[in-house]
Structure 1
Amino acid sequence: MNGPLEWIAAIGTMLAAGLIAADIGRRATGYGFILFCAVSITWIVSGLTSDAIPIVAMNAILLLINAWGVWQYLLSRKNREVMERVEPVEKEIEEEVEEQMEEESPAN
């Protein structure tokens, strides 16, 4: 298990995790989950071809979890409508919190 397929899956996994951890918006997080789905499939194929059944089992479950993430962040009509209402005030709230934190932090 050290071929190009595994390297693609490993790099894709790191990129997907970075997209989600960056917290740069709902759409980017959804794309991170799509990438996680793609690399889960890649890991499943790799595991099947190299008889690594634990990798296959783990990524089959992760594929389901990540597909749920795609649903939550990109496909759910209810969640999209909620976020459309939240987004206009989100930046204002973030600025207020940053200002509050600056006021609370001790002078350097």
Structure 2
Amino acid sequence: MNGPLEWIAAIGTMLAAGTIAADLGRKATGWGFILFCAVSVIWIVSGLTTDAMPIAAMNAILLLINAWGVWQYLLSRKNRKVMERIEPIEEAIEEEVEAEEERAPAG
């Protein structure tokens, strides 16, 4: 291992993890899961072509988990409807919390 395919997959994995960790909203998180799906496929191909079966098997399972994440964040009609109703309330709550944090004594 350690060829260009692995480097692409490694960089993509880090970008996907950073996108999800950044908590930039449902769409960004959904796109992070799409990127995770893409790099899982690359890792599977890499594992199969270099005889690294544990890598291929692990990423086959991760592909399923990440596909579920895509469903949850981008494709589920029910979840989208719920989030459309929650988003305006969420923004107000975030503003309240920020105001509380500014008033709270440091420590």
Does the TM-score normalized on the shorter chain lie above 0.5?
yes
Deviations 1:53-82 (A, max 9, x none): 000110001000000000000000100000
Q: How far apart are the structure 2 equivalents of 1:40 and 1:54?
A: 13
2:51 maps to amino acid: D
Matching residue of 2:34: 34
Tell me, which stretches of 5 or more residues in structure 2 are unaligned? none
Q: How does 1:37-48 map to 2 (within 5 A)?
A: 37-48=37-48
Q: How many residues align?
A: 107
1:67 maps to amino acid: A
Deviations 1:3-24 (A, max 9, x none): 1100000000000001000001
Q: Normalized against structure 2, the TM-score is what? A: 0.96
Matching residue of 1:97: 97
1:55 maps to amino acid: I
Tell me, which stretches of 5 or more residues in structure 1 are unaligned? none
Q: How does 1:1-108 map to 2 (within 5 A)?
A: 1-106=1-106
CA shift, 1:105, in A, is 2.6
Q: How far apart are the structure 1 equivalents of 2:105 and 2:8?
A: 43
Report sequence identity in percent.
Answer: 79
Misfit runs of 4+, over 2 Å = none
Q: How far apart are the structure 1 equivalents of 2:100 and 2:34?
A: 36
1:57 maps to amino acid: A
Q: How far apart are the structure 2 equivalents of 1:72 and 1:85?
A: 16
